[in-house]
Amino acid sequence: MAKKKSGLGRGLGAFGLPEPLQNSKNDKKKVQPVSPSDEDVSIQEIDISKITVNPHQPRSEFDEDALKALQESIKQYGVLQPVLVRKTPKGFELIAGERRLRASKLAGQKVIPAVIKEYNDAQMTEIALIENIQRENLNPVEEAHAYHHLLTDYGLTQDMLSKKVGRSRSHIANFLRLLKLAPGVQKKLINNELSMGQAKPLLIIEEDSLQEKAAEFIISNDLSVRKVEALVKQIVKHPDFFEEKESDPKGHDTDPATLYLLEAEDKLKMFFGTAVRIKGSGKRKKLEIELSSQEELERILTLIADKVTMQDNATKLAKLREYSTKGKFSV
């Protein structure tokens, strides 16, 4: 079965360039050298010492082990994918392929295969970003900075950027929001200590120091995204959340399981419209619903009955739809 291509618009092909090859340590013998494309991409060897790096390279973190593996591959097979450069008065400026350039230097190579193109600064940044996204090389913060650079320095709108890099506007907007996180939280994203799903809820917390304390707590307790959301809600309600826990044993409980129960209590309070408490220790829990009159009890019983009826109807409808795909009638 043919491998599915990345959904990044036309990718590097839009710039008249060959698509990136996979050059993994375990698949060296399957990789074939790039040949010029139908659009007459000319590949030539140029002096490595004459190449300066792209100042707008989105990627700032390079895995040392991966570089060493590529270095060994280059020693044995050479550089199988050319780098992309543009001509400058002093030599060449790298547009894409910094990892290959670094590994080639480590391998002691004097020259490197390259495609020379004429691009402006904006196009350079776009190409470097697209290449890194296609190879899934960027961490979330690097990707966010690349989007921000294209939007602010080259006057692109989010809609224009979306079409250029093949990402939805909501995708771009979500990444840009990460730049509003506290510096310490962004660092944890870069180091892969936090996932994007764990980090995004922290945007609701306004204080950087509180965001960073929450991030430490999330990591040390390995909280799921749902439990992170519950934690953030408690912090927003009680900005002194962590201080109370440290100074008063009876303060707000920061146990992850308890945080989840507090979130459940909030949802039940909204549903029933009255005070609700979940009590108990260990696996056994007791649900208490506060009532002030017989009428309130009747109201809550009606709510429960209506909810059960709705669920029953939804279940029946789902079964009918399932049957309709196999039976003789449709709903």
In the chain, where the domains are located: 10-25+40-137, 139-180, 195-289, 291-331
Average predicted confidence (pLDDT) for the chain: 76
Nearest Cα neighbor of 306 from 331, 281, 279, 271 is 271
286, two tokens: 């007791």
Is 80 exceeded by the pLDDT of residue 229?
A: yes
Residue 16 pLDDT class (50, 70, 90 cuts): very low
More confident residue, 246 or 78: 78
Residue 279 pLDDT class (50, 70, 90 cuts): confident
**Each residue of 70-125: pLDDT tens digit?**
888 888 878 878 888 888 888 898 888 888 888 898 888 999 998 888 887 777 77
72 catalytic residue (yes or no)? no
SS3 content of the chain, % helix, strand, coil (to 5): 55, 10, 35
Element (H, E) at 276: strand 276-279
Q: Which residues contact 239 (CB under 8 A, 6 or more apart)?
A: 207, 210
- 325 band by pLDDT with thresholds 50, 70 and 90: low
- What would the two tokens of residue 230 be? 């519950």
Q: How many CA atoms lie within 13 A of 39 on its CB side?
A: 11
Which amino acid, one-letter code, is at 177? R
pLDDT at residue 29 tops 50: no
Q: Which CATH number is associated with domain 10-25+40-137?
A: 3.90.1530.30
Residue 259 burial (C-beta neighbours within 10 Å; 0-12, 13-18, 19+)? buried
Active-site position among 93, 98, 126, 263: 98
Residue 53 sits at the vertex; the CA angle it makes with 51 and 58, to the nearest 5 degrees, is: 155
CB-based contacts of 269, cutoff 8 Å, min separation 6:
275, 276
For residues 228 and 222, is the Cβ–Cβ distance under 8 A? no
* pLDDT given for residue 180 in this prediction: 94
Cα separation values, 137 from 60, 63, 66, 141, 206, Å: 10, 10, 11, 12, 30
pLDDT band at 167 (very low <50, low <70, confident <90, very high): confident
Per-residue model confidence (pLDDT) at position 5: 40
**Alpha helices (H) in 191-255, listed in sequence order:** 196-199, 208-221, 225-237, 241-247
> Cα(212)–Cα(197) distance, rounded to whole angstroms?
16
**The pair of three-digit structure tokens given for residue 31, joined into one six-digit string:** 């990789």
Report in angstroms the alpha-carbon separations of 174 from 106, 188, 235: 37, 17, 22
